Amino acid sequence: MFETLGDRLQAVFSRLRGRGKLTEKDVDEAMKEIRLVLLEADVNFRVVKDFVESVRERAVGEEVVKSITPAQKVVKIVYDEVTRVLGGTEEKIKFSSHAPSVIMLVGLQGSGKTTVAAKLAKWLKLQGRKPMLVAADIYRPAAVEQLQTLGKQIDVPVAYWRHRGACEICKESLKEASKTGMDVVILDTAGRLHIDEELMQELVEIKREVEPSETLLVVDSMTGQDAVNVALSFLEKVDFDGIVLTKLDGDSRGGAALSMKSVTGRPIKFASVGEKIDDLEIFYPERMASRILGMGDVVTLVEKAEEAVSEERAKKLEEKIRKQKFDLEDFLEQLDQMKKMGGLSKIFELIPGMGQFARGAGIVPDDEKMKHIEAIIKSMTPEERKNPGILNASRRRRIAMGSGTSTQEVNQLIRQFSQMQKMLKAFSQKGSGLKILERLFPF
């Protein structure tokens, strides 16, 4: 969602770098451009004013003027300020001193609360917790069924009592969690298409009765400044401890994320970055600032790689590459690992400078093409995958028909795979960089 914002800010920095020594006039011109970029990204105007004044004050200081690389100093100042605006440091979930801890999700209908509830439950399971989901939205048609379906997918129990009010359901769920040994209860409360007194009163009642250790507001980042206004209304009526931003993988302009902490005083704790149940990330302000300014996010990339690729598998792959036995079967497995990491396009965005370079060169990876590659390889026999050299014209026609692709696409894949084998051979002979290749860029 920050592509346009990031590209335009980087364009400003590029012009600064071309000027060598910076004058106060150069800084003023850059600040005007940055102000315009942020306003067009739908950032709250008060946040923009504070941001630009803070950057300008530091950018015309003696430290920058006398610096050998003043433009880089300005970039660092902007990075620091973006990090500050986004919240400074990560804010962790608070848990109760005695089980079960209660996490209450609130927000408008359509913000993605129910899906976030399941994503959060999956994330908590990975942290070694025992979560229970509670279907407390008794008004939206199929809301209960949706949560029950998601609960089955991640093997997390869903509490619900038919013909009972939302507050009573929430109270009963705490008793059930205590009986069954669940240590975290996640309340999926009701929303409305707009804020009304009835909705707020119900949420206030639930909060008073169950005393959650954490109340999280779920907001749709695609709604821009409307999301900020919604947050202010909930803050006044119900109050909350943190924010979950959804649809951060969309094409919104980024204003909600950059405005939320400064306007509400509450931190963004999680970001939903896709439709899959695993697409929930802890919100790290410094990492997000790096992504926005085109510096990549190597730490997140390493974490994703470690989650997707086991140490044992990495060693086996390294051995195969060294012995030059890397075949299409291994390549297919690497495609699966990339999907677990969010797809090639997301990986590119996490590598410093690669996202903007790839977009500028028109080589942004098309994850749809990756599906075609997968279909082609799966249409081959095990023998053909291990030894692509036996793929004659008739075999290639059969594979194209079986995968729903063309012979040209099959030929292109074989040609590219052959080039990749040569590249891997060169890496294995040099020795250095091989582990980075296989763990961070496993294709």
So what's the pLDDT on residue 223? 76
Reported confidence tier of residue 443, pLDDT bands at 50, 70, 90: very low
Instruction: Say if CB 397 and CB 409 are below 8 A apart.
Output: no
In this predicted structure, what is the pLDDT of residue 248?
75
In this prediction, residue 167 carries a pLDDT of: 92
Structure-model confidence comparison of residues 48 and 421, the more confident one: 48
Give the contacts of 324 (CB within 8 A, at least 6 positions apart). 421, 424, 425, 428
Upper half-sphere CA count for residue 129 (Cβ side, 13 Å): 25
Using a pLDDT cut of 90, give the percent of the chain over it: 24
Residue 440: per-residue pLDDT: 40
* Least confident stretch, 184-188, 273-277, 367-371, 431-435: 431-435
The DSSP letter of residue 23 is P
Residues 17-30 pLDDT 10s: 766 677 778 788 88
| Alpha-carbon distance values, 287 to 86, 303, 387 (Å) | 10, 13, 42
pLDDT computed for residue 40 by the predictor: 82
Which domains, ranges and CATH numbers included, belong to the chain?
3-86 (1.20.120.140), 101-293 (3.40.50.300), 299-440 (1.10.260.30)
More confident residue, 8 or 143: 143
pTM for this prediction: 0.67
Write down the pLDDT at residue 188. Answer: 92
Contact by Cβ (8 Å): 379, 414: no
Q: What is the pLDDT of residues 386-411, one digit of tens each?
A: 888 888 999 999 999 998 989 998 99
| Dihedrals phi, psi of 439, to nearest 5 degrees | -90, -35
Give the lowest-confidence range in 38-52, 129-143, 295-309, 362-376.
295-309
CB 271 within 8 A of CB 227: no
The yes-or-no verdict on residue 222 having pLDDT over 50 is yes
The predicted pLDDT at position 342 comes to: 62
Give the least confident one: 9-23, 87-101, 387-401.
Answer: 9-23
Minimum mean pLDDT range among 58-62, 114-118, 144-148, 233-237: 58-62
Distance, in Å, from the CA atom of 64 to the CA atom of 71, rounded to the nearest integer, reads 8
Question: Do the strands 214-220 and 268-272 form a parallel or antiparallel pair, or are they unpaired?
Answer: unpaired
HEC secondary structure over 80-149: HHHHHHHCCCCCCCCCCCCCCEEEEEECCCCCCHHHHHHHHHHHHHHCCCCEEEEEECCCCCCHHHHHHH
The tens digit of pLDDT for each residue in 258-278 reads 888 888 899 999 988 888 888
**What pLDDT is stored for residue 46 in this prediction?**
87
On whether the CB atoms of residues 246 and 274 are closer than 8 A, the answer is no
Question: What pLDDT shows up at residue 306?
Answer: 56
pLDDT per position as a tens digit, 115-127? 999 999 999 998 8
Radius of gyration of the chain (CA): 25
**Least confident window among 41-50, 76-85, 352-361:** 352-361
pLDDT band at 348 (very low <50, low <70, confident <90, very high): low
Return the H-helix or E-strand segment holding 353.
none
Q: What is the pLDDT of residue 199?
A: 85
For 265, other C-beta atoms within 10 Å of its C-beta total 8
Q: Is residue 49's pLDDT more than 60?
A: yes
